[in-house]
Structure 1
Amino acid sequence: MKKQKLDTPPLRWGFMGAGKIANDFATAIDTFSKSVHRKVAVATREKQTAEAFAKKFGFEKPCDSYGDLAKDGDIDIVYIGTVNPNHYELCKLCLENDKHVLCEKPLTLRLEHTEKLIKLAEEKGKFFQEAVWSRFFPAYERLREELAKDSLGSIKAVTALFGINDQVTSRILRKDLGGGSLMDIGVYTIQFAMQVYGPFVPEKVHAVAIKNDEGVDMSVSMTLQWKDGQIAQLSCSNLAKMESSAEVWGQAGTLKLHEPFWCPNEIEINGKTEKHALPKVSHTLEFEHGEGMVYEVQEVKRCIADGLTESPHFTHKESHILAQILDEVKKQIGLSFEEIYSDDKETWKEAV
């Protein structure tokens, strides 16, 4: 792991949400000393949940509400790990209260919301990051190195599969929770193609899907084509277990991120596999390779210490392009989340 700057004050964290993903992110922060990162406060919809989470992970205090946390002067940055539909409102709340923000993907469910948040963050001059943790793994750094060296030659094909058999998790099955395979795991396949081909909007997008009775996608296949004939074939599914790997096919070589490609510890370059050991952590993890969130924690600290408002490894521009691609795919498969917002099209109508 890269060393943190020793001459900077500790980064003071607030958490919004205390679910499984927050469990792993708090665990990642725990690998650092309190002189580097401090866990200050946590807020959830129900106070007792925040109290239990604060006690488990050693936060200094639970907050009574999201609003109280956003206004807390002892907090530098807020990590948002709630369900998808309220990402927009909570990001907006934090930015308006001059907090840096790290928000889990997808940043929002609507393109215009993503655009508004990026604009607000840039106006405020605050660090603002969509938590695409994949980009900070050592294997992705090696991928970028090989692309920079042009060792694979001209690249015209990328493939990525992400498939799990999960037909019970409510946040995936329910539209009012912003569900579906596209927004949950399909995001990872798209970001991989963008990592290879660069931050450009594809010229063509073709998508098909299988949906459940709520109209939420359970399986999606996408073909993306960029202007130079570069093609990405991507699939995500909550109906079938796949070999969830990603590959780059060049005229001079091939590269593969082994499963799980979105949080890999192995990369294969022209048939030779490199292993990258992940950090050791003290708490039980909820997700495979959740300890890899350590790299994301490191990157956030580095960027803020250096006065950056975004990570160069996943920029605001890339969040915007990702949102544009998702928007087009949703249109093609007939998926919309409009009905879960109130009449002013800003506020999420919270599920009962």
Structure 2
Amino acid sequence: MVIRWGICSAGKISHDFTVALKTLPAENHQVLAVAARDLKRAQEFAQKHSIPRAYGCYEDLAKDPEIDVVYVGTIHPHHLSHGVLFMNAQKNVLCEKPLAMNLREVQELIASAQNNHVFLMEAVWTRFFPVSLEIGRLLSQGEVGELKLARADFGVPLTHVPRAVEKELGGGALLDIGIYCLQFVLMVFNGERPESIQATGVCLDTGVDEAMVITLKFSGHRLAVCTCTISAELPNEAVIVGTKGTIKVPAHMWCPTSLLVNGVETQYPVPEPTLPLNFINSTGMCYEAEEVRRCLLAGLKQSSRMSHADSALLAEIMDEARRQVGVVYSQDSQ
């Protein structure tokens, strides 16, 4: 059965997601429509990707009766309003990360999904990569013994990009890229709530975080350390240490194509793109799209690999980290 997609936003990430969908069988996934605030941009996007319908407003996409699921690729301050718009129109939603600006907004989105009996998932694409599935298998089988420590870092120079530094655009290292480090350690610790959260960071003049280090303490004397920055290139690796060995995810840990288990490396290449991509390894978004299809065919309203509870915990930890560092968005006072 074909899943019919609508694309909300004609930006860079929507381009890459649409290219990723094209790597999957056409009888399983079809992009039926794209919507942007500017009809001309939507039409150009539709032409580039051979999409039959282009809309000049998101409301028209929400009204399209043939759309099964909408991919929301707008900037994060708009995720709440756009997500609710589509879910109120009885559309299933795959929403880019972060799911929303804070826990309150995440809870509103989850409530909307539940009230409308539709599927909702945060597009934490990393969780669906073959590397991530293999990490889960290795940990569940005790391949590295008792888990002791996990570490993840993600840093790239982004201070020249307005959406990364402007507060009203949802800027800051944590919400944009630090979320990948946090979701990784929460995946490793199986969605467990940390016993303590300690965050320290530095902020730009715009009031958003330039860099942050977050230390999480879990039950059984286990630790995790997450480091993120938008002002420098970090090694962008992740490491899991147990009593009997080490699992290492080399760069790029947010879209991994290789895994080192006790020094032995295995490659997991992503599909080849049919059009140039804006971001590295973006065809790997096909894995999250396949998960959405699997869930919809099974009648599920959330994914067990990136559940509503996972998104809520992620948002809760980011809220606390921002509180400690002093990063406040307008959405926090509403």
Task: Quote the residue 2:294 is aligned against.
Answer: 302
- The answer (yes or no) to whether the contact 2:102–2:331 under 8 Å persists in 1 is no
Structure 2 residue 304 is the aligned partner of structure 1 residue 312: yes
- The answer (yes or no) to whether the contact 1:101–1:127 under 8 Å persists in 2 is yes
AA in 2 matched with 1:254: T
Q: Note closer, same or farther for the CA distance 1:76–1:339 as it changes in structure 2 (3 Å cut).
A: closer
AA in 1 matched with 2:314: L
AA in 2 matched with 1:99: K
The CA deviation at 1:64 is 2.5
AA in 1 matched with 2:179: V
What is the alpha-carbon distance in structure 2 between the residues aligned to residue 143 and residue 133 of structure 1? 15
Structure 2 residue 174 is the aligned partner of structure 1 residue 156: no
Structure 2 residue 223 is the aligned partner of structure 1 residue 231: yes
- The answer (yes or no) to whether the contact 1:181–1:217 under 8 Å persists in 2 is yes
Structure 2 residue 274 is the aligned partner of structure 1 residue 245: no
Gaps of 5+ in 2: none
What is the alpha-carbon distance in structure 1 between the residues aligned to residue 331 and residue 65 of structure 2? 36
Task: Quote the residue 1:106 is aligned against.
Answer: 98
Task: Quote the residue 2:246 is aligned against.
Answer: 254
Q: Note closer, same or farther for the CA distance 1:339–1:319 as it changes in structure 2 (3 Å cut).
A: closer
The CA deviation at 1:209 is 1.2
What is the alpha-carbon distance in structure 1 between the residues aligned to residue 24 and residue 317 of structure 2? 36
The CA deviation at 1:340 is 8.8
- The answer (yes or no) to whether the contact 2:236–2:252 under 8 Å persists in 1 is yes
Structure 2 residue 278 is the aligned partner of structure 1 residue 321: no
The CA deviation at 1:135 is 0.6
Aligned partner of 1:331 among 295, 310, 323: 323
Task: Quote the residue 2:69 is aligned against.
Answer: 77
Aligned partner of 1:121 among 113, 118, 141: 113
The CA deviation at 1:339 is 6.0
Shift >4 Å, 4+ stretches: none
Task: Quote the residue 1:146 is aligned against.
Answer: 138
3-state SS of paired residue (1:98): coil
Task: Quote the residue 1:292 is aligned against.
Answer: 284
Aligned partner of 1:11 among 3, 17, 21: 3
Structure 2 residue 160 is the aligned partner of structure 1 residue 172: no
3-state SS of paired residue (1:234): strand
Structure 2 residue 97 is the aligned partner of structure 1 residue 90: no
| Fraction of identical pairs, as percent | 36
| Count of residue pairs the alignment pairs up | 334
What is the alpha-carbon distance in structure 1 between the residues aligned to residue 313 and residue 283 of structure 2? 28
Aligned partner of 1:214 among 199, 206, 217: 206
The CA deviation at 1:39 is 1.0
Give RMSD over aligned pairs.
Answer: 1.3
Task: Quote the residue 2:29 is aligned against.
Answer: 37
AA in 1 matched with 2:313: I
AA in 1 matched with 2:189: Y
TM-score by length of 1: 0.92
AA in 2 matched with 1:179: G
3-state SS of paired residue (1:281): coil
For residues 10-54 of structure 1, what are the alpha-carbon distances to aligned partners after superposition, in whole Å with 9 as ceiling and x for unaligned?
Answer: 111111111111111000111234322121111112111111111
What is the alpha-carbon distance in structure 1 between the residues aligned to residue 267 and residue 279 of structure 2? 19
What is the alpha-carbon distance in structure 2 between the residues aligned to residue 174 and residue 286 of structure 1? 21
TM-score by length of 2: 0.97
What is the alpha-carbon distance in structure 2 between the residues aligned to residue 111 and residue 33 of structure 1? 36
For residues 81-133 of structure 1, what are the alpha-carbon distances to aligned partners after superposition, in whole Å with 9 as ceiling and x for unaligned?
Answer: 00110000000111111000000000000211101111221232211100000
What is the alpha-carbon distance in structure 2 between the residues aligned to residue 294 and residue 216 of structure 1? 31
The CA deviation at 1:200 is 2.0
